[in-house]
A and B are shown apart, each in its own frame.
Chain A
Amino acid sequence: MSYKVKLEIFEGPLDLLLYFIKKDEINIYDIPISKITDQYLQYLEFMKLLDLNIAGEYLVMAATLMHIKSKLLLPPEEREAEEEEVKDPRQELVEKLLEYQKFKEAAAKLDIMEKGRKDIFKRQAPGDILSKDTQVRYFEANIFDLISAFSKILKEMPKETFHNIVKDEFTVEEKMHDIYHMLVARPKLMFTELFKDAKNKFEIVVTFLSILELIRLKEIKVYQKHMFDEIEIIRNTESMKPGIHSSGAL
């Protein structure tokens, strides 16, 4: 046989204290500490009985209540009494309770406001017609992105390659021109496509160096959509000066 117990759900020790105060119509500015402490401890006992986990905050509050109670029992010290401001030991707790009460009411108000919104319908997203100039946001790729993309390409290179003996087939200068002219024809190049037709490691290295050099000369910019994403190469329109043609060797 089992019992079902309906427990008021409290949001914490402050909420529980406010409940006692409201239930017994206690004047919050003059809390009978002794009575409240007993009630509070009884409630904790009850929670224990129900095998509920008592959060640490409840225990801290129990200690605070007992501390206030003991302070009230002791006669005020002579020196303290002489001072003009006699601070009620309860004051801090009262302020906390009032502050909490304020936000509890604010929360209730928000709840009402939210409910008021349920009768208001707004336009539905008209789907794909409206892609409010959703430019894909890019961020500039850094040197490490370039290097890791480069090492990926090196790894993907077939192990067995035929060694054609070609004398200085590729130079950085030529490659730079190649890339630059490709970008004149097309607005955007994929990093990997530059290496697609590379015949050997040497060409890959030369191509990579050319990219680095073009970046250094501010002729191109490299971007990626996401971290570790494919790197895209575009022309740096900010510097359209014909620097590339005059720049000599590396």
Chain B
Amino acid sequence: MTDNEAKRIMEALLFISDKPLASEEARRVLKEFDAKTVNRLLDELKSEYGYSKKGFCVEEVAGGWQLVTDPYFAPWIRKLYKKEMTDKLSRPALETLAIIAYKQPITRNDIESIRGVSIDGVIKTLCDRNLVKISGRKEAPGRPIIYVTTKEFLERFGLPSLSHLPRIEDFHLESKEKISEEVQDAIKGSEKKS
């Protein structure tokens, strides 16, 4: 089979998939191709769709590939179809989810210590919505449960993988060293005043 044929097969698979198609799944069908080639062909397909300016494109999300419409055409699509709106996440839920996403695997206690409040109800909501799951127990006193995010989490936020999360370092401007430096300065300042 030529690469081109394989690519068309994958195109067909993408066409009928309602979930991101993982490259391992594509490989189940195209057994003679190695993972590298399958990934390359899917990538090629993605750029082919990108160049040719179609109404939809191949998007890389949640560890797979998927056909999605161009957001530009949303107003027209809406005239015909309503998108089932997923329930918006509350602020506590989003904050907790953010902490789990960046710090996973993480125990409930560690989450609560960052947020400064109990997360009883929130963690249940997140688990019920399949955005986080219990991945096991930490080998620490009490063997607390540890949480990680799920594939659905990646899909919901349009992330190809966890490494595509916005860099958290960009969020706070000063590093820790700077903090203590400034604190030290402040102390010196107050000492001088007194």
Pick the contact of A126: B16, B115, B184 (CB < 8 A): B16
B112 to chain A, nearest CB (A): 9
For the complex formed, measure the closest distance between the CB of A78 and the CB atoms of chain B, giving whole angstroms. 14
Q: Which of A55, A88, A119, A130 has the largest count of B CB atoms less than 10 A from its CB? A: A119
Is the C-beta of A188 less than 8 angstroms from some C-beta in chain B?
Answer: no
Q: From B1-9, B34-42, B175-183, give the one contacting chain A.
A: B175-183
Contact residue among B15, B88, B172, B189 (Cβ-Cβ distance under 8 Å from A102)? B172
**Known A12-B116, A29-B183, A130-B18; contact A117-B158, beta-carbon cutoff 8 A:** yes
Cβ contact within 8 Å between B97 and A107: yes
A234 in contact (CB, < 8 A): no
Instruction: Give Cα A215–Cα B112 distance, bound, in whole angstroms.
Output: 51
Known A106-B166, A122-B66; contact A11-B115, beta-carbon cutoff 8 A: yes
The residues of A that contact B51 with a CB separation of less than 8 Å are none
CB atoms of B74 and A88 under 8 A apart = no
CA distance A237 to B95 in the complex (A): 52
- Decide if A12 touches B16 in the complex (CB within 8 Å): no
B88-123 residues with Cβ-Cβ distance < 8 A to A are 88-89, 91-92, 94-95, 97-99, 101-102, 114-118
Distance of A223 from chain B, by nearest CB (Å): 24
Contacts A11-B92, A121-B68; A96 near B116 (Cβ below 8 A): yes
Q: Is the CB of B98 within 8 A of A101?
A: no
Closest-by-CB residue of A relative to B180 is A91
Task: Report the Cα distance A100→B144, complex, angstroms.
Answer: 22
How many of chain B's residues have a CB under 8 angstroms from any CB in A? 48
Q: Give the complex CA separation of A95 and B156 in angstroms.
A: 31
Alpha-carbon gap, A14 to B118, bound state (A): 12
* Cβ B179 vs Cβ A94 within 8 A: yes
Find out whether the CB atom of A11 lies under 8 angstroms from the CB atom of B117.
yes
| Chain A residues, Cβ within 8 Å of B85 | 118
Q: Interface residue tally of chain A, by bracket?
A: 35 or more
Q: How far is the CA of A30 from the CA of B184 in the complex (A)?
A: 10
Q: Give Cα A135 to B63, complex, Å.
A: 23
Say whether B130 faces chain A, with CB atoms less than 8 Å apart: no
- Residue numbers in B under 8 Å from A94 (CB-CB): 179, 183
Cβ A88 vs Cβ B157 within 8 A = no
- Shortest distance between the CB of A59 and any CB in chain B (Å): 12
Closest chain-B Cβ to A84's Cβ sits at a distance in Å of: 11
Partner of A122, one of B18, B116, B157, B171: B18
Q: Answer yes or no: A235 CB below 8 A from chain B CBs.
A: no
Interface-facing stretch out of A39-47, A108-116, A177-185? A108-116
> Do A106 and B116 touch across chains, with their CB atoms under 8 A apart?
no
Residue in chain B with minimal CB distance to A91: B183
Residues of chain A within 8 A (CB-CB) of B118 are 55, 57
Measured CB to CB, the nearest residue on chain B to A123 is B18
Q: Which residues of B contact A90 (CB under 8 A)?
A: 183
A136 nearest CB across to chain B (Å): 19
Complex interface: chain A residues within 8 A of B17 (CB): 123
**Chain B 60-77 interface 0/1 with A at a Cβ cutoff of 8 Å (1 = within):** 000000111101001001
Judge whether B157 and A110 touch: CB under 8 Å.
yes
A227 within 8 A of B: no
Contact A120 B183 (CB under 8 A): no
- As a 0/1 sequence over residues 113 to 154 of chain A, the CB contacts with chain B under 8 angstroms (1 = contact) are 110111111111110001000000000000000000000000
Given A91-B180, A108-B94, 10 further pairs, Cβ under 8 A: A11-B115, A30-B182, A91-B183, A94-B183, A103-B99, A103-B115, A121-B68, A123-B66, A124-B18, A130-B16
